[in-house]
């Protein structure tokens, strides 16, 4: 039985640059007790489509141009704002992507939870609080009677997302819209949240619209999938059909972009390793400076990590956020002060090295950052950005620099015509290409790549990974590849190091680790990977156990 049926919905944004068709005439429906996943890359209009149903898009510049959305026979789009408000949060619940920003930091969790009950259900505070406690218990928050009086910042990211789910579910909606609810979360937490959503959906028999960019997440969860691209739905079907038998080219591209399998051949290592870490420890002082505040115990972000990286090797470094993997990368490059231990790069200990001796070494080790929007100076053109390291380290003269920059742009696959453009004129993937170009400009030997593809869409991610692999081979680079995404690391790395709470818990060859994880935490990480990507070459082999 159909709960929500959307016909020919079109939402356009009218901006100064012209009209943008965010949603361009889409139709879909959700039945009672069904999970519909809407999948697409960022900018494909999947969020806009769902937000416009609840009148949550900014108008103007947005405008709903046409369409109907029948929710139990009532058209949401032509409804009076007052009527719609009674449906929003009451009959249709919504969970947002970022649990950090979607809770009010100044109100206790309890206050926020009971809001919809007081408003929609006319319960008194006592009854509402009681219901809130039950709800928190149901979403798996331990000790709900005490926790209900906590503030959002006292919860971890995953717990906060549980609170958000409780908030969306407390008024017992018939339809739950989840907008990338696990994108901001670590992989083990993601697995817990997904199973929670699934369990709640089963128990209450509600309908769910699950918006995601990640096909792998969707595979184990949804009943039906709609694939969106540039404001249109290119394909809809039961989840098995989509994965086994995709009809549209775009779906096939999406499926092929999921990193699968591992690097075929291991490189031949020579004897002397390029980088040796010996009991490297990095602490952060617990106060923020100033004379008057007392020094508290330091937090050990990286604790006694020892490892070696061979020349020509790609070492994957995995762990959850807060495990100290980024700090380890920065400690190697001496971007944060190291507390103890040594970093021996090509026979030279970098720890405590004078700046004068460090500067020429910096040319030989470079970093690629996670966020291509923050890692490029917004006031420097591509040319400035790529020419700076060349000129500074004396690798180019003013006469040769333009040719060298152009060659570099060819190397990373940027159009030569873009040389005078500024970063904001590029897409995320192109920006990451600029950042990679800057990192390889000085012909370094070691590159620390800190989550270089996490901020990118899946098809772009595949392109950038291919680029990195090609460059590693071409320039004989050694790389420490930091990522929280095991399937990406498996695709690119020769060996994998697993970090947990600042310590290195396991280090093994990629396939050895996947086949036979030695440490409890590694096993936990591996089992948390969404179903699709645990199985290499899934896109070419029919998935049998998906149903």
Partner 1 sequence: MENPHSATLTQEQGSSLWRDGWIRLCKNHLALFGLAVIAFFCVIALLTPWIAPYGYEQQDLQLGASPPSAAHWLGTDIFGRDMLTRIMYGSRVSLLVGFVATGVALVIGVLWGTVAGYAGGRVDAVMMRLVDILYALPFMIFIVLLMVVFGRNILLLFLAIGAVEWLTMARIVRGQVQNLRHQEFIEAAFSMGLSRWIIIRRHLIPNTLGPVIVYTTLTIPNVMLLEAFLSFLGLGIQPPQSSWGLLISHGVESMEEYPWLLVFPGLALSITLFALNFLGDGLRDALDPRASKD
How far apart are alpha carbons 302 and 287 in whole angstroms? 18
Residue 222 interacting with partner 1 (CB under 8 A) = no
Q: Establish if 456 lies at the interface with partner 1 (CB under 8 A).
A: no
Task: Choose the stretch contacting partner 1; rule: CB under 8 A; options: 145-153, 360-368, 488-496, 507-515.
Answer: 360-368
Residue 284 binds to partner 1 (criterion: CB under 8 A): no
Tell me if 386 sits within 8 A of 440, measured CB to CB: no
* Choices 114-122, 375-383, 471-479, 521-529; region in contact with partner 1 by CB under 8 A: 375-383
Tell me what percent of the chain is helix, strand and coil, each rounded to the nearest 5: 35, 25, 40
Cα 21 to Cα 342: distance, rounded to the nearest angstrom: 55
Q: Does 289 bind partner 1 (CB under 8 A)?
A: yes
Using the contact rule CB under 8 A, the part of the chain among 3-11, 224-232, 376-384, 470-478 near partner 1 is 376-384
- Which segment (86-94, 197-205, 232-240, 353-361) binds partner 1 by CB under 8 A? 353-361
- Between 235 and 450, CB nearer to partner 1: 450
User: Which DSSP letter does residue 88 get?
Assistant: B
Return the residue of 119, 269, 284, 392 that touches partner 1, per CB under 8 A: 392
Q: Which two tokens stand for residue 236?
A: 């809809």
Six token digits for residue 314? 């790609």
Residue 353 lies near partner 1 (rule: CB under 8 A): no
Q: Is 387 in the site for partner 1 (CB under 8 A)?
A: yes
Residues 15-34 that bind partner 1 (CB under 8 A): 16
- Residue 151: other Cβ atoms inside 10 A: 15
Q: How far is the CB of 420 from partner 1 (least distance, A)?
A: 7
Answer yes or no whether residue 377 interacts with partner 1 by CB under 8 A.
Answer: yes
Nearest to 211 by CA among 179, 176, 237: 179
In the complex, minimum distance from the CB of residue 56 to partner 1, in angstroms, rounded to a whole number: 26
Rounded to a whole number of angstroms, the minimum distance from the CB of residue 399 to partner 1 is 11
Among 18, 58, 60, 378, binds partner 1 (CB under 8 A): 378
Residues 247 and 66: beta-carbon distance below 8 Å:
no
Under the binding rule (CB under 8 A), the answer on residue 203 touching partner 1 is: no
Which of 12, 466, 37, 451 shows the shortest CA–CA distance to 225? 37
Q: Are 12 and 60 in contact (CB under 8 A)?
A: no
Beta-bridge mates of residue 11: 23, 64
Report the alpha-carbon angle 42-44-46, nearest 5.
95
Q: Which is nearer to partner 1, 380 or 546 (CB)?
A: 380
CA dist list (Å): 159 to 114, 147, 217, 269, 542: 18, 11, 19, 44, 36
Q: Using CB under 8 A, pick the residue from 79, 358, 466, 469 that binds partner 1.
A: 358
- Residue 455 contacts partner 1 per CB under 8 A: no
**Based on CB atoms, which residue is closest to partner 1, 401 or 466?**
401
- Minimum CB distance to partner 1, residue 452 (Å): 12
Residue 242 parent element (H or E): helix 239-244
Distance in Å, CB of 185 to partner 1, minimum: 22
CB 463 within 8 A of CB 256: no
**At which residue do the structure tokens 């971007």 appear?**
335
Running DSSP on this structure, what letter comes out for residue 154? G
Peptide bond into 60 cis (omega under 30): yes
Least Å distance, CB 456 to partner 1, is: 15
User: Any contact of residue 258 with partner 1 (CB under 8 A)?
Assistant: no
Could you say whether residue 374 binds partner 1 (CB under 8 A)? yes
Strands 446-450 and 299-309: unpaired
346 interacts with partner 1 by CB under 8 A: no
Residues 407-446 that bind partner 1 (CB under 8 A): 420, 422, 424, 435, 438, 442
Contact between 379 and partner 1 per CB under 8 A: yes
Nearer to partner 1, 198 or 364 (CB): 364
215 to 239, 269, 331, 420, 457: CA distances (angstroms): 10, 36, 35, 37, 11
Least Å distance, CB 15 to partner 1, is 10
Q: How many residues bind partner 1 (CB under 8 A)?
A: 45
Q: How far apart are CA 432 and CA 438, in angstroms?
A: 10
Complex with partner 1: residue 38 or 440, whichever CB lies closer: 440
Starting at the earlier edge strand, list the strands of the sheet with 62-71.
18-31, 2-15, 62-71, 74-75
Of 486, 28, 26, 74, the closest CA to residue 223 belongs to 28
- Tell me the two tokens of residue 180: 């990338």
For residues 67 and 78, give the distance between their C-alpha atoms in angstroms, rounded to a whole number. 9
- CB closer to partner 1 out of 152 and 437: 437
User: Which of 105, 264, 290, 347 lies at the binding interface for partner 1 (CB under 8 A)?
Assistant: 290
Asked if 371 touches partner 1 (CB under 8 A), the answer is yes
Instruction: State how far the Cα of 16 lies from the Cα of 236, in Å rounded to an integer.
Output: 34
Q: Which two tokens stand for residue 261?
A: 């399998």
Q: In whole angstroms, how close is the CB of 389 to partner 1 at the nearest point? A: 5
CA distances from 311 to 441, 458, 471, 512 (A): 19, 29, 14, 21
Strand spans (E) along 272-370: 275-284, 299-309, 314-318, 340-345, 348-349, 365-368
Q: By CB under 8 A, name the one of 8, 360, 410, 474 that touches partner 1.
A: 360
Cβ 146 to partner 1 shortest distance, Å: 35
The region of 234-242, 369-377, 504-512, 513-521 touching partner 1 under the rule CB under 8 A is 369-377
Q: Which stretch binds partner 1 (CB under 8 A): 104-112, 148-156, 345-353, 355-363?
A: 355-363
> Smallest gap, in angstroms, from Cβ of residue 223 to partner 1?
41
Would you count residue 384 as binding partner 1 (CB under 8 A)? yes
In the bound state with partner 1, the residue whose beta carbon lies nearer, of 153 and 354, is: 354
Which residues contribute to the site for partner 1 (CB under 8 A)? 16, 289-291, 330, 333, 335, 356, 358-363, 365-367, 369-371, 374-381, 383-384, 387-389, 391-394, 398, 401, 420, 422, 424, 435, 438, 442
């Amino acid at each position: 039985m159909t709960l929500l049926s959307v016909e020919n919905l079109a939402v356009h944004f009218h901006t100064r640059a012209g009209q943008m068709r965010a949603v361009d005439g889409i139709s879909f429906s959700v039945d009672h007790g069904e999970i519909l996943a809407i999948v697409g890359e960022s900018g494909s209009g999947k969020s806009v489509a769902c937000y416009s149903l609840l009148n949550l898009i900014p108008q103007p510049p947005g405008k709903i141009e046409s369409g109907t959305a029948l929710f139990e026979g009532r058209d949401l789009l032509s409804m009076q704002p007052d009527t719609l408000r009674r449906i929003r949060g009451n009959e249709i619940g919504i969970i947002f992507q970022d649990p950090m920003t979607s809770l009010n930091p100044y109100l206790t969790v309890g206050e926020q939870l009971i809001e919809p009950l007081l408003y929609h259900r006319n319960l008194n505070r006592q009854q509402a609080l009681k219901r809130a406690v039950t709800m928190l218990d149901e979403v798996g928050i331990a000790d709900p009677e005490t926790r209900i009086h906590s503030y959002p910042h006292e919860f971890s990211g995953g717990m906060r997302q549980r609170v958000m789910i409780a908030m969306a579910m407390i008024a017992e909606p018939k339809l739950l819209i989840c907008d990338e609810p696990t994108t901001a979360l670590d992989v083990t937490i993601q697995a817990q949240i997904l199973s929670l959503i699934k369990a709640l959906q089963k128990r209450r028999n509600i309908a769910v619209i699950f918006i995601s960019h990640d096909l792998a997440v969707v595979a184990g969860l949804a009943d039906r999938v709609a694939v969106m691209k540039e404001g249109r739905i290119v394909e809809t079907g039961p989840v098995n059909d989509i994965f086994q038998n995709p009809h549209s080219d775009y779906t096939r591209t999406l499926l092929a972009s999921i990193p699968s399998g591992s690097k075929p051949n291991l490189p031949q290592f020579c004897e002397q390793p390029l980088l040796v870490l010996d009991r490297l420890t990095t602490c952060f002082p617990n106060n923020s400076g100033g004379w008057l505040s007392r020094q508290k115990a330091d937090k050990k972000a990286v604790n006694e990590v020892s490892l070696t990286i061979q020349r020509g090797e790609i070492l994957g470094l995995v762990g959850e956020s807060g495990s100290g993997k980024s700090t380890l990368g920065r400690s190697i490059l001496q971007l944060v002060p190291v507390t103890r231990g040594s970093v021996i790069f090509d026979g030279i200990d970098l720890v405590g090295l004078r700046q004068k001796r460090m500067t020429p070494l910096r040319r030989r080790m470079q970093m690629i950052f996670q966020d291509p929007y923050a890692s490029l100076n917004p006031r420097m053109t591509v040319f400035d950005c790529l020419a700076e390291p060349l000129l500074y380290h004396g690798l180019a003269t003013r006469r040769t620099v333009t040719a060298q920059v152009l060659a570099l742009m060819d190397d990373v696959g940027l159009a030569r015509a873009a040389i005078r453009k500024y970063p904001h004129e590029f897409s995320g993937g192109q920006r990451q290409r600029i950042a990679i170009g800057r990192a390889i400009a000085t012909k370094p030997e070691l590159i620390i790549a800190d989550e270089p593809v996490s901020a990118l869409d899946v098809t772009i991610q595949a392109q950038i990974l291919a680029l990195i692999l090609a460059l590693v081979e071409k320039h004989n680079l050694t790389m420490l590849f930091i990522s929280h995404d095991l399937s990406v690391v498996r695709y690119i790395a020769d060996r994998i190091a697993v970090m947990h709470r600042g310590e290195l818990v396991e280090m093994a060859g990629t396939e050895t680790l996947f086949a036979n994880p030695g440490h409890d935490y590694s096993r936990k990480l591996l089992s948390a990977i969404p179903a699709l990507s645990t199985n290499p070459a899934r896109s070419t082999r029919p998935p049998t156990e998906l149903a």
